[in-house]
């Protein structure tokens, strides 16, 4: 059961070089009063903070049970083990708040005489996945490396069937993920362009496999990041985002960090 997942220690961070790509502008400090869920907490002054750049299983509603609910409880417990009653430093790059009014920030705590990133820690322990919108390519690459390490070692929630990468060729698996943040992987069968949209198709029939859409106006941003959409045909690709149903499962990609060349890692 997910509820029985053991929280790895801080030693789960296996990096030979300093993690510094995500050190943005300091936006304040505070002391943690309460943990809301696996990515949100409240400071003593009443500010509600949401960790930027990561996604976690949502906290269960009253009466919820099953693997997803247990995953939400496990993610919250992981964050609490890192932040309960801690003083934190907030750093920002871009949007200052989400649609619920929570302050979006990279959060750092002092540990072993050095500032440690909580988002990196959640990823390294296997209780979070990199978000679709990091906003900074070097930071995204650093975070993705943390996620990959935890996935390969099957740490935290990566040891559970619920948290596995979904097959981009499986319409049934993708339909079950509709409305949720998902990481999918598969071989790109074709890349087509129509009416200002680029379509990356993972199957011959749209209704039975994933389609990733990219606005033509964003193509240069993807290309500059080394993810030129039209060169991905026949490549094995990993994509992250929210699954929608539009004549078949779709993920809209608006940022290059949503797409990884799976053959490389």
CATH number, domain of 17, equals 2.40.50.90
Same domain, 148 and 173: no
The residue-averaged pLDDT of 201-225 equals: 92
Instruction: Grade residue 10 by pLDDT with cuts at 50, 70 and 90.
Output: very low
214: containing domain? 165-264
The percentage of residues in the chain with a pLDDT greater than 90, rounded to a whole number, is 60
> For residues 112 and 123, which has the higher predicted lDDT (pLDDT)?
123
End-to-end Cα separation, the chain, in angstroms: 28
Q: What is this structure's pTM?
A: 0.87
220 and 142 part of one domain: no
149 and 196 together in one domain: no
pLDDT category of residue 185 using cuts at 50, 70 and 90: very high
How would DSSP label each residue in 74-134? HHHHHHHHHHTT-EEEEEESS--B-TTSPEEEEEEEEETTEEEEHHHHHHHTTS-EE-S--
Q: What is the DSSP letter of 209?
A: S
At 33-62, the pLDDT tens digits run 999 999 999 999 999 999 999 999 987 777
- Residue 256 is part of a domain; what is its CATH number? 2.40.50.140
CA dihedral of residues 84, 98, 250, 72 (deg, nearest 10): 20
Q: Indicate whether 200 and 225 sit together in one domain.
A: yes
Indicate the number of domains in the chain. 2
Q: Which of 103, 101, 115 is nearest to 22 (CA)?
A: 115
**Residue where a domain terminates, one of 159, 185, 211:** 159
Q: What pLDDT is recorded for position 6? A: 44
Give the model's pLDDT for residue 187: 96
For residue 221, give the 3-state DSSP assignment: helix
> Within this chain, do residues 93 and 220 fall inside the same structural domain, yes or no?
no
d(CA 82, CA 58): 18
**CA distance linking residue 71 with residue 127, whole number of Å:** 8
Cβ neighbours of residue 203 under 8 Å, at least 6 residues apart?
168, 169, 171, 189, 209, 210
Q: Domain check: are 151 and 169 in the same one? A: no
**Which residues, listed in sequence order, are joined to residue 239 by a DSSP beta bridge?**
184, 259
């Amino acid at each position: 059961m997910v509820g029985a997942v053991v929280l790895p220690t801080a030693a789960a961070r296996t990096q030979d070089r300093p993690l510094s790509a995500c050190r943005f502008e300091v936006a304040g400090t505070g002391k943690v009063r309460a943990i809301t869920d696996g990515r949100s907490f409240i400071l003593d002054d009443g500010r509600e903070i949401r960790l930027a750049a990561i996604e976690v299983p949502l906290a269960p509603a009253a009466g919820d049970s099953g693997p997803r609910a247990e995953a939400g409880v496990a993610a919250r417990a992981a964050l609490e083990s890192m932040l309960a009653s801690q003083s934190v430093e907030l750093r920002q790059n871009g949007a200052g708040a989400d649609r619920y009014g929570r302050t979006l920030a990279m959060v750092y705590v002092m540990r072993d005489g050095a500032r440690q990133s909580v988002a990196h820690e959640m990823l390294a322990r296997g209780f979070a996945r990199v978000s679709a919108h990091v906003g900074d390519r070097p930071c995204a690459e650093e975070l993705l490396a943390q996620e990959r390490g935890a996935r390969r070692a099957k740490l935290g929630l990566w040891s559970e069937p619920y948290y596995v990468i979904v097959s981009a060729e499986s319409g049934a698996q993708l339909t079950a993920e509709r409305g949720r943040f998902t990481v999918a992987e598969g071989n790109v069968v074709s890349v087509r362009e129509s009416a200002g949209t680029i379509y990356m198709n993972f199957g011959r029939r749209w209704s039975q496999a994933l389609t990733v859409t990219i606005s033509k106006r964003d193509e240069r941003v993807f290309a500059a990041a080394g993810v030129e959409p039209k060169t991905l045909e026949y490549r094995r690709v990993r994509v992250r985002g929210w699954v929608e149903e539009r004549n078949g499962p779709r993920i809209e990609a608006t940022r290059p960090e949503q797409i990884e060349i799976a053959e490389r890692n």
